[in-house]
C-alpha cells in the first residue's frame, strides 16, 4: 500500500483509521492517493476484526478532489471519472464509515466524504462542490448524494452556484451533521467509533446493508447519467480554459 500518502492505523479495538496525507498534492486525488485509498478499503474488507472505519485527512485538508492534470485529461476526452471508483468506497464498505472531515473538502473530495455513514465537519474548514466553477457538470455521484444528505434546496445551491462555504455557515443552514472546532473533530469521531464498536460486527454489517441498500441500488444509474452530462459539458473549449485559469483558486 502507498504508505507515504495513506496511513492505515488500528486506533482502538475494532476501529481502523484511514488517514489521507498526500502533503505534496494537498490530498488531491493523485495516483498514489487514489490507489492507496482503494487498497486500504480492500484490506479492511478482508479483516473481520474491524467494526468501524474513520476516514480523515491531515492538518487543514480532508480531500481536495481531482488534480488539474486529471481534469484536463477528462476535458480532452481521454477518460471518464467513473474509470476509477473512489466515490462508492465508503458506501460499499461492509462496516460503518465515519468521515472525520477535519479539513477542507473540495469538489469530489467533499462528495466522497458524504458517502460515509457518519459525517463530521469542521467549523473553520471550507466545503464546496465546485465542479460548475470550471464549467462542467458534477460527477462522483454528487447529484445524488448531496440532495440525499443535505436536502434538495442546499444541494441545488451548492451544485449550481459552486459557492464555497465554511463549516460554520453550513451549520447555520441546518445541515444534519455535527460541526465542531477542528481540534475537536477527531475526538468526536473516536468517541462515536467506540460506541459503534461495542456492537457485534455481524449486526453492524447487517443493519448497514439494510440502511444503504437504496443508495447502493440507485448509484450506478446516477453515475451513468453524470457521465452522459460530462459528454455534453466537459469537452467545451471554455472548460479547458477555466481549468487552466482557475484551478487552485
pLDDT single digits (tens) 124-145: 999 999 999 999 999 999 999 9
pLDDT tens for 3-24 read: 589 999 999 999 999 999 999 9
* Confidence at residue 215, expressed as pLDDT on a 0 to 100 scale: 97
What domains, with CATH codes, occur in the chain?
6-182 (3.90.226.10)
Average pLDDT over residues 93-103: 98
Report the DSSP pairing between strands 6-12 and 15-20: antiparallel
What percentage of residues in the chain have a pLDDT greater than 70? 99
Other CB atoms within 10 Å distance of the CB of residue 42? 12
pLDDT tens for 169-225 read: 999 999 999 999 999 999 999 999 999 999 999 999 999 999 999 999 999 999 999
Which residues in 109-133 are b (16+ Cβ under 10 Å) and which e?
bbbbbbbbbbbbbbbbbbbbbbbbb
pLDDT tens for 80-96 read: 999 999 999 999 999 99
Average pLDDT over residues 119-123: 98
Please report the DSSP string for 142-175 in residue order.
HHHHHHHHH-HHHHHHHHHH---EEHHHHHHTT-
**Is residue 235 annotated as a catalytic residue, yes or no?**
no
Could you give the CA distance from residue 246 to residue 225 in angstroms, rounded to a whole number? 26
Beta bridge pairs of residue 15: 12, 52
Average pLDDT over residues 225-249: 92
Q: How many residues does the chain have?
A: 249
Amino acid at each position: 500500500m502507498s504508505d507515504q500518502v495513506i496511513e492505515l492505523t488500528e486506533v482502538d479495538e475494532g476501529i481502523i483509521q484511514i488517514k489521507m496525507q498526500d502533503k505534496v498534492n494537498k490530498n488531491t486525488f493523485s495516483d498514489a492517493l487514489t490507489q492507496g485509498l482503494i487498497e486500504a478499503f480492500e484490506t479492511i474488507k478482508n479483516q473481520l476484526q474491524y467494526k468501524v472505519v474513520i476516514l480523515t485527512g491531515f492538518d487543514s485538508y480532508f480531500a481536495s478532489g481531482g488534480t488539474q492534470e486529471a481534469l484536463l485529461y477528462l476535458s480532452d476526452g481521454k477518460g471518464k471519472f467513473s474509470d476509477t471508483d473512489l466515490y462508492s468506497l465508503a458506501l460499499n464498505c461492509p462496516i460503518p464509515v465515519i468521515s472525520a472531515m477535519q479539513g477542507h473538502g473540495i469538489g469530489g473530495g467533499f462528495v466522497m466524504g458524504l458517502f460515509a455513514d457518519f459525517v463530521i465537519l469542521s467549523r473553520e474548514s471550507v466545503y464546496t462542490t465546485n465542479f460548475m466553477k470550471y464549467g462542467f457538470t458534477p460527477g462522483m455521484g454528487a447529484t445524488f448524494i448531496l440532495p440525499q444528505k443535505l436536502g434538495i434546496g442546499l444541494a441545488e445551491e451548492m451544485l449550481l452556484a459552486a459557492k464555497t462555504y465554511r463549516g460554520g455557515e453550513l451549520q447555520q443552514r441546518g445541515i444534519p451533521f455535527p460541526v465542531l472546532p477542528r481540534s475537536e473533530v477527531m475526538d468526536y469521531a473516536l468517541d462515536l467509533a467506540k460506541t459503534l464498536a461495542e456492537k457485534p460486527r455481524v449486526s453492524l454489517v447487517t443493519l448497514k446493508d439494510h440502511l444503504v441498500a437504496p443508495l447502493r441500488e440507485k448509484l450506478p444509474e446516477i453515475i451513468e447519467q453524470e457521465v452522459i452530462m460530462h459528454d455534453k459539458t466537459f469537452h467545451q473549449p471554455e472548460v479547458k480554459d477555466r481549468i487552466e485559469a482557475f484551478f487552485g483558486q
